[in-house]
Structures are given as C-alpha cells and as structure tokens.
Chain A
Amino acid sequence: GESVGLHLPTLSVQEGDNSIINCAYSNSASDYFIWYKQESGKGPQFIIDIRSNMDKRQGQRVTVLLNKTVKHLSLQIAATQPGDSAVYFCAERDGGTASKLTFGTGTRLQVTL
C-alpha cells in the first residue's frame, strides 16, 4: 500500500470532546475490519472490530461505523481522555486470504487539556 511517509494525519481534540477517526479502504472483498491503537514504542492494541454484515458496533466509549457503499470506516471515541492519545490504525481482512490483515496509514490522535 501507499505510505504517507513522514507525516501521519493528526487529529487534535480537547479532553472531554468526542473524536472521530476515519479510514477509507479499497478492497470490496474485505469482510472484517479492526481498529487498533498504538502507543509510542508498543505493539498495536485491539480496540474494536466489525464484520461486513454489520454497519455499526459499540464498545465501551467506542463505536465503529462501516459504510460499505463508499468503503469507509470510522471510529468514534466518546469523552476523549488524555490516555487516548496514540496512533490509530484501521485494518481490513480480505475474505479469501486466511486472516491476513492490511493496515491503513494511521491517524495520530492528540488530546489537549
């Protein structure tokens, strides 16, 4: 996939506000999507997933929305906290590739006080 190089898109949000992180995907055969959070120097941490037969799924303070028509995925974080500051990646699985994931370019979330 194409890399954004040295500059990750950054979203700055004030503490307590809601955050929306977007992701576009291109593979119409993708049947499963995951959002991961990655803090500096650490491995990705699973946040929430959604299957292609759903358009919304909620977790604790997080919601994932899937729009297959425009191949768009979003992660909503309610009442954003300083501990939410990290890089967020969406990942998609092609239904025919036995669980291999393709990662998006990532978005850095900065939570300001």
Chain B
Amino acid sequence: GAVVSQHPSWVICKSGTSVKIECRSLDFQATTMFWYRQFPKQSLMLMATSNEGSKATYEQGVEKDKFLINHASLTLSTLTVTSAHPEDSSFYICSVPAGGSYNEQFFGPGTRLTVL
C-alpha cells in the first residue's frame, strides 16, 4: 500500500499561534488527500478533502479559515491550524486514497497537537 508520512509527529504550541502539519505520500502520487481529526477515545472525523491544484473541500462544521489546507504537489498536502486554541488540541491524521475504483485509504502516523 501507499506509504504516508506526517511531520511533525507531535507539537505543543501556545494559544493564538499557528501550526503547520505536513502530509507526504512517499511512493504514490495523490491528487486527493484527506484530513481527519480524532479526539481521545473517539473515532476519526473527516475534516476536509485536499485537492491538488485547487481548493480543498471542507466538511460541514469545519471552519475553512481556521484550518487552511494547501495541496501544492502530488506528494504533499499541508494543514495549518490558525490561531490555535486549547479546543483544537487533537490527533490530526491524513490519508491517501490508493487509486483504483474503490480507493482504499492509507493513513499517515498522525500528528498530536497540544495547545496550551
């Protein structure tokens, strides 16, 4: 399957600062990537679909001005949490659909964000 990396693996920041998380598809060119958020002991919730060369598509209830997504190349998507607050503390995970008609998704290792 596709190999997906994320950077950083964890980050601690002060309230009000912005944090950028990178998602890289190491062996597969991805025109689409997905960003999920996972709170402790809960399931993954899709935040947005990142589209290479065009605007991201956000799920209902997700603020596009707060969670900026840039998919600048076929192997890199970035999620920037702007003006982070403690309630933004979560585990952020990206995934890459592997192609084909059913598009199984392969996930990155996740980024733990803690906002103080």
Which residues does A use to contact B, with CB under 8 Å? Answer: 1, 3-8, 32, 34, 36, 41-46, 49, 51, 89, 93, 98-106
Contacts and interface: CB of A to CB of B under 8 A. Distances in A.
Given A42-B109, A99-B103, 10 more contacts: A5-B42, A6-B41, A34-B105, A41-B110, A44-B44, A44-B107, A46-B106, A100-B34, A101-B46, A105-B42
Among B34, B40, B95, B105, max chain A CB count under 10 A is at: B105
Contact of A34 (B4, B41, B45, B104): B104
Nearest to A7: B41
A8 B41 contact: yes
B44 A103 contact: yes
Nearest to B109: A43
A43 B104 contact: no
B104 A106 contact: no
B46 A100 contact: yes
Interface string B95-113: 1010000111111111010
Q: Chain A interface secondary structure, helix, strand, loop or mixed?
A: loop
A32 B34 contact: no
Q: What class of interface size applies to chain B in its complex with A? A: 20 to 34
Contacts of B107: 36, 43-46
Contact of A43 (B45, B102, B110): B110
B89 interface: no
Interface string B6-40: 10000000000000000000000000101000001
B1 to A, nearest CB: 6
Contacts of B45: 1, 103
A99 B109 contact: no
Contacts of A5: 41-42
B54 interface: no
A43 B108 contact: yes
Given A41-B112, A51-B102, A99-B32, A46 B1 contact: yes
The 10 closest A-B pairs by CB, nearest first: A99-B103, A43-B107, A103-B43, A103-B44, A43-B110, A44-B107, A43-B109, A99-B97, A32-B102, A43-B93
